[in-house]
Structures are given as structure tokens and as C-alpha cells.
Structure 1
Amino acid sequence: MDAKKYIEMQDLFNRYLAEKKLWKTEERYAILECICSFPGHFDMCLLHQKLEEMNFHVSRATIYNTLEVLVDSDLIVRHQLMNQSVQYELRMLAETHSHLICTKCGAMRELKDMTLKKDISALKISRFTPEYHALYIYGLCSKCKYRLQRKK
């Protein structure tokens, strides 16, 4: 992520914390900065591991609470994909793709389709103002489909 976008996200986070009268702690900003370094999806364990590698020691409870604050502030998106653990993603990245999820093995792939994104954005829904969308398409990945065909 470039510096300009990171500063913009930091400003949005500052405004959110001020509006909700929440503490502006070093831990919250370190977690936000770490999240901005991920190119895609991450979970709490991966985030904790990366913070430890950066020699920034913070409790799992602080990470979990900060993730909740970041979801509430609309800076990150929570994904509950099938039976897997909860995953997160920067909202600005989540808006650029859809998710293809295998119902057999749980493998996930991202699909970037600008026509689909444009069509979804153009939807007019009465008495509702969409802020963002997340699209999940469930099916079989090529490996699972091949295995099923071989069994038959």
C-alpha cells in the first residue's frame, strides 16, 4: 500500500476513534499498520505472528478488540468463509474482487471481474443505500471436481 493511502486510512481511523471517544493507542496504530502490509486475506493468528516478527508484542485480546474496532470503522471487512476461521481483509481490497469458495476442500480463489463489479454497483435498491458489497460464489474447485469424477 502506498503512503498516501495509508495516511488516508490513518486519518479515517483517527476520526472514527475521536467520534466514538476511544483511546488512540500505540497498539491500535501498530495493528493497523501491520494489516496494511498484507496483500490480501489474513486471520488473527497470522496478524499476531507478523506483529511478533516485528518485535511488537501485544496480547491476542488487544488484537481481537482492535479488529472489532477496525471492522466497525469500515476499514476492514470480516469474512466467515464456510467452516474456516474468520478472515479479514482491508475494505479497499475487498471491493475489487469476488470470492470463489470450494464446498469440498474450502479452497478460496479471488475473481476480478470489472463487468460484474460495475453491474453490482449499478443496482438500485429501494429504501437502501449500499456502502460496499462482498460476493461469495460456492462450488467445486478443479481438483475436487477431478477427484469426484475419478471416483465415479
Structure 2
Amino acid sequence: MPDTNSLLATARAKLEESLLAKGLRRSSERFAILDEVYSRNDHFDAEELYQAMHQKSYPVSRATVYNTLDVLVECGLVIRHQFGDEDNVKSRYEKSLGRRQHAHLVCVVCHRVQEFCDPRLHLIETNVGNLLQFNVQSHSLVFYGQCAGDGCQTKPADESK
């Protein structure tokens, strides 16, 4: 896995190339948002990113955050996930460069997202692709449930005690 500085340099070069190809402005705000995204190791929503930028005293508008996230998704630097049920779908994002394939656990109570890797997932992907003669490019797997440990901030009290 590349180090953080080379990963960020690669991401910045890819964003620059994408902006040039699309005739979009190469603004300092867009690159600052990219830097913030690549400094994180979590799943975040646009509002959390906006708040993080303001906590660092970087004046950027919500519209710029949302628009830049769209650009970052389009050029493959960020992945957008739609976690939630049909009544409460929320877009959450994560950086994509330097990340290995993984799946997610989403708590339906506290909405925490946890990642996990299991080599059997790659084996299933390969076997299904071979069996159905399909070139799988990527996959997404999300388990919804409830945190069982003490980490769930909004977990209801255990009524059996």
C-alpha cells in the first residue's frame, strides 16, 4: 500500500487531469476538499466534511463541498455509498485510492459503518464470474444490523437484565 504522501500526490494529479479534461476550474477549494478526504480513514457524509473544513478554518461553502464530492466520485477518487433503508437512505463517502476491496457492517441504531475484509469474498466474486461467464469489475456487500458491543452510543438498554 502506498504511503499517505504518494497517495495524496497521485489523487491530486488525477483530480487535476480530470478537471482539465472536463474544462472545470482547478480551484484551491477543490484541492483542499480532496486533501481533507484523503486525510480521513472513515466513512463520512457531506455535512461532516463541510464541518471538518470549517473546524480547520477553511472557508468553503456547502455547495462547493457537494459539487466537489460529485467531481471526486466521477473521477474515481471517492466512492459514494447509499447506506440505509428505502425510507432513510444516506450518502456516505470514502476515499478509493489505496483501499483494498472490503465490505461493510451498518448499525441501524447508531448508523456506525464498520469495514471488514474476508478473502472468501474475492473467491466468491471470482467463482460467480467464472460460472456465469461475467467479468466482475467490483462488488458491494453491506450487512445491516445492530451493534452488539459497548461501542453503540444509542443502543437500547438490555431489557433482560
- Alignment TM-score, normalising by the size of structure 1: 0.80
Q: What is the Cα-based RMSD across aligned positions, in Å?
A: 2.8
2:78 aligned to which of 55, 76, 79: 76
Count of matched residue positions in the alignment of Structure 1 and Structure 2: 149
Cα pair 2:7 2:98 within 8 Å, conserved: no
Cα pair 1:100 1:136 within 8 Å, conserved: yes
Match of 2:140 in 1: 134
TM superposition shift of 1:127: 5.8
Quick check: 1:98 aligned with 2:95? no
User: 1:17-32 maps to which residues of 2 (within 5 A)?
Assistant: 17-32=19-34
Residue 116 of structure 1 aligns with an amino acid whose one-letter code is L
TM superposition shift of 1:4: 0.7
Given the superposition, is the C-alpha separation of residues 84 and 106 from structure 1 closer, same or farther in structure 2, using an over 3 Å criterion? farther
* Alpha-carbon distance in structure 2 between the residues aligned to 1:109 and 1:129: 24
Identity %: 32
Deviation string, structure 1 residues 90-128 (Cα, Å, up to 9, x no partner): 113664321012345544322122332354356526465
2:69 aligned to which of 67, 82, 93: 67
Structure 1 unaligned segments of length 5 or more: list them.
none
* Alpha-carbon distance in structure 2 between the residues aligned to 1:90 and 1:22: 21
- Which has the larger displacement, 101-110 or 31-40? 101-110
Secondary structure of residue in 2 paired with 1:92: coil
* Alpha-carbon distance in structure 2 between the residues aligned to 1:50 and 1:69: 19
Structure 2 unaligned segments of length 5 or more: list them.
150-154
* Alpha-carbon distance in structure 2 between the residues aligned to 1:122 and 1:95: 19
Match of 1:4 in 2: 6
- Which has the larger displacement, 31-40 or 16-25? 16-25
Residue 141 of structure 1 aligns with an amino acid whose one-letter code is C
* Alpha-carbon distance in structure 1 between the residues aligned to 2:69 and 2:144: 26
TM superposition shift of 1:77: 0.7
Match of 1:113 in 2: 118
* Alpha-carbon distance in structure 1 between the residues aligned to 2:72 and 2:64: 12
Secondary structure of residue in 1 paired with 2:114: strand
